[in-house]
Each structure stands twice: as C-alpha cells, then as structure tokens.
C-alpha cells in the first residue's frame, strides 16, 4: 500500500498542468511546511532565523523541467539574485539548483551559459553552488556538466544518489576531481533496470558510498533524515578519525527539525535545504512520496479551505 502511494505521488510530481495551476494559486495544502515562501525576501527571513540557531543553509529557487530558453534565463537570473541576497545579508548559505531549470532539456549551450553566469557571481560572493541530481535520464549529462564546470570553478559540487547501480563507479570516477559531494538515497521513480528496488539495498549502497567518499579524503555531505545512516556516519568518522570539517549532515527544511538541533548540539555541522519560489508542486509531491504519513497534513490543509 505504501509503495502504491509512493508511486502515485511520484507520478503526480511530473504532472505539468498541476504544476502550472500550483504556480498560479500559490502555496497550498500544507506545502508551506516544506517551502520557505514564494519570494527571496521571505526566504531570507527564514535563513536568518535558521542561522541564528546555528544551522547553516543551502537555498534553492524552486523550478524544474523548464522547456524554453526565456524561462531558463529567468531562473538563472533569480539564482544570481539569491546569491546577491546571501552576500548582502551576510547569510551563512550556499545555493542549490537543478540542471533542467537552467535549460538542460533545451541545449547544453544554454545550461553552460547560465551556469557560468551564476558561478561568476557565486565566486564574487564566496557562495558554494551544488547541482542537485534529477532523474536517471539526466544523470550522465549532469555529471558531465559538473566535471566541465569543476575544472573552471572551485565552488561547485553535485549530488550522487545511492539507489542507482551506476553510483559506485561514479564515486570512483569523480574521485579524480576531489569533489565536494552531497550523498542521498534518491527521490525519483526509477526502473529496476537502473536502480535498486529494495530499500535495504539502497541503504547498503548508501553506507558504502559514504565510506568510500570519506576515506578518499573528500568533503562529504550526508543528506538524510534516516537515523541509521546518521549513526553509521558517526561511528565511521570516529573509527577513522575523520575531522569534523570534512563532512556535514544535511536535511530538508521542515523535516525532523528536532533532530537537526540535536546534531548541532552534538557539535556536528548541520545544513538545511531551504526551497522557495512559486514552482513548489513537484518538490512537494516528492516529499509526500517519501512519507505518505505527511498526507495527513495535506488533508488538514484541504479541510481548512
Ligand atoms: P528515508 O526515506 O528512508 O527516511 C528515513 C526516515 O526519515 C523516515 O522513517 C522518517 O522518519 C524520516 N523522513 C524521511 N522523509 C521524510 C519526510 N518527507 N517527511 C517527514 N519525515 C521524513 N534526492 C535526489 O534525488 N536528488 C537531490 O539532489 C536531492 N537533494 C537532497 C538534499 C537534501 C539536503 C536532502 C536531505 C535530501 C535530498 N534528496 C535528493 C532526497 C533524498 O534522495 C531522499 O529522497 C530523502 O532524503 C528521503 O530519504 P532519507 O535518506 O531521508 O531516508
């Protein structure tokens, strides 16, 4: 039943008419629990508050699967604005973005132009940029773009998903770049031909890549709400004497907030992924897919209308 709900929400997450409607009508159905607001001004307030609680941030202007150049350019300009706001307001925040919002589905030329503009500003403002990882069909292209940009800019990282079979090899191949990587389980609906269908195999692979990447001496962001993965990492860094400035934990805004504070109290670096913007629908549906129990919040939101 849970798997069926998960598939249902992942299916909904790609619905274009719903995405358009959601943009038009603004944050609804409890999405405000996971999204920091529709404007950069609202996001800045949220980040300031999180920073005051010793939580660092990566901000994400929501948007994905953009299919025209004008929109991709607008998304890129919004990212530049977000970077400027981080600099101006002296926020402790990085930036996350998606290649399909920069024009990946249009042309490589558009993506590279937009990314270079963003990375120039990010370099000026000393802001680190992480390329989120999207569905399998875009994974190879995203890694390719990352490695090309990494040879031009230092302040860039990307994401590797434990559920993919290709991941172990990607971690090995990327080691040549000493990359700062965010490791996650993976949030998209993938076929068993490319991804582990069983949670236990995903978890096993997650542990494996956490260990490999850390022991390779690379900066590692362990992005998970799963206590088993967090405890595994704690034991590993203790055993191998990995310094605390070589890794951090990351969680999504609005999820396991108490646990985020506990990790800060224990002296770990804890980064919160803070999405904002009007294109909240796909992101929200993926969060519901991860935890169908959150649907209760949606139903409460609907009842209030
Ligand atoms: P898992 O789903 O096994 O959950 C473990 C426990 O965490 C649950 O039992 C529950 O207690 C809690 N939990 C998990 N999700 C919850 C939710 N939505 N609401 C409430 N509680 C919840 N994916 C991707 O494909 N590309 C990307 O670029 C990113 N980027 C990214 C950044 C950051 C900072 C995070 C934390 C995650 C991502 N992800 C991602 C998403 C990731 O792939 C994965 O889908 C989610 O993190 C859920 O997996 P967990 O590791 O949390 O474990």
For residues 146 and 98, give the distance between their C-alpha atoms in angstroms, rounded to a whole number: 12
* pLDDT greater than 80 at residue 101: yes
169 and 273 inside one domain: yes
pLDDT tens-digit map of 156-210: 999 999 999 999 999 999 999 999 999 999 999 899 999 999 999 999 999 999 9
Average pLDDT over every residue of 98-123: 97
Report residues whose beta carbon is within 6 angstroms of any ligand 1 atom: 132-133, 159, 161, 182, 184-188, 223-226, 250-252, 255-256, 273, 287, 290-291, 294
What pTM does this model have? Answer: 0.92
- The predicted model gives 33-61 an average pLDDT of 94
Residues 6 or more apart whose Cβ sits within 8 Å of residue 118: 76, 79, 80, 83, 95, 97, 102, 129
Same domain, 166 and 201: yes
Kindly state whether residues 295 and 260 are assigned to the same domain. no
| 190 and 305 belong to one structural domain | no
Looking at residues 100-112, what average pLDDT do you find?
Answer: 96
- What is residue 283's predicted lDDT score, i.e. its pLDDT? 79
Residues whose CB falls within 8 Å of the CB of residue 154, separated by 6 or more in sequence, listed in order: none
Give the SS3 label for residue 127: coil
What's the structural domain count of the chain? 2
CA distance 264 to 189: 32
CB-based contacts of 26, cutoff 8 Å, min separation 6: 38, 278
Same domain, 238 and 298: no
Task: Please give the number of the atom of ligand 1 that sits closest to the Cα of 226.
Answer: 5
d(CA 29, CA 31) in angstroms, rounded, equals 6
| Domain co-membership, 221 together with 288 | no
Residue span of the structural domain in which 161 resides: 39-278
Q: How far does Cα 17 stand from its chain's mean position? A: 24
Q: Which residue's alpha carbon is at the smallest distance from atom 12 of ligand 1?
A: 225
Active site residue 132: yes
Question: How close is the Cα of 35 to the center of ligand 1, in Å?
Answer: 15
Taking the C-alpha atoms of residue 92 and residue 48, their distance in angstroms, rounded to an integer, is 8
Instruction: Give strand pairing partners of 156.
Output: 129
State yes or no: pLDDT of 6 exceeds 80: no
Does the pLDDT value for residue 23 go beyond 90? no
- Tell me the per-residue pLDDT of 120-130, one tens digit each, with 9 for 90 and over: 999 999 999 99
182 catalytic? Reply is yes
């Amino acid at each position: 039943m849970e798997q069926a709900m998960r598939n249902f929400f992942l299916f909904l997450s790609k619905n274009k008419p719903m995405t358009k409607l959601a943009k038009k009508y603004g944050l609804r159905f409890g999405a405000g629990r996971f999204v920091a607001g529709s404007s950069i001004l609202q996001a800045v307030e949220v980040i300031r508050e999180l920073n005051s609680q010793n939580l660092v941030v990566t901000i994400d202007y929501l948007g994905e699967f953009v299919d025209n150049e004008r929109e991709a350019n607008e998304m890129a300009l919004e990212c530049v604005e977000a970077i400027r706001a981080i600099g101006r307001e002296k926020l402790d925040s990085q930036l996350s973005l998606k290649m399909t919002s920069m024009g990946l589905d249009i042309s490589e030329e558009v993506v590279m132009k937009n990314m270079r503009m963003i990375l120039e500003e990010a370099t000026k403002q000393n802001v680190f940029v992480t390329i989120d990882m999207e569905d399998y069909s875009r994974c190879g292209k995203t890694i390719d773009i990352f490695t090309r940009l990494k040879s031009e800019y230092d302040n860039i990282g990307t994401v590797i998903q434990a559920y993919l079979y290709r991941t172990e090899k990607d971690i090995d191949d990327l080691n040549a770049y000493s990359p700062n990587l965010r490791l996650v389980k993976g949030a998209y609906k993938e076929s068993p031909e490319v991804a582990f269908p069983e949670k236990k195999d995903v978890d096993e692979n997650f542990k494996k890549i956490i260990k490999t990447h850390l022991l390779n001496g690379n900066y590692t962001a362990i992005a998970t709400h799963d206590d088993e993965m967090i405890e595994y990492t704690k034991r590993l860094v203790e055993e191998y004497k990995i310094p605390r400035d070589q890794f951090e934990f990351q969680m999504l805004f609005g999820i396991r907030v108490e646990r985020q504070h506990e990790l800060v109290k224990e002296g770990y670096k804890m980064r919160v992924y803070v999405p904002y913007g009007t294109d909240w629908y796909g992101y929200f549906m993926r969060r519901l897919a991860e935890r169908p129990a959150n649907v209760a919040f949606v139903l409460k939101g609907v009842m209030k209308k």
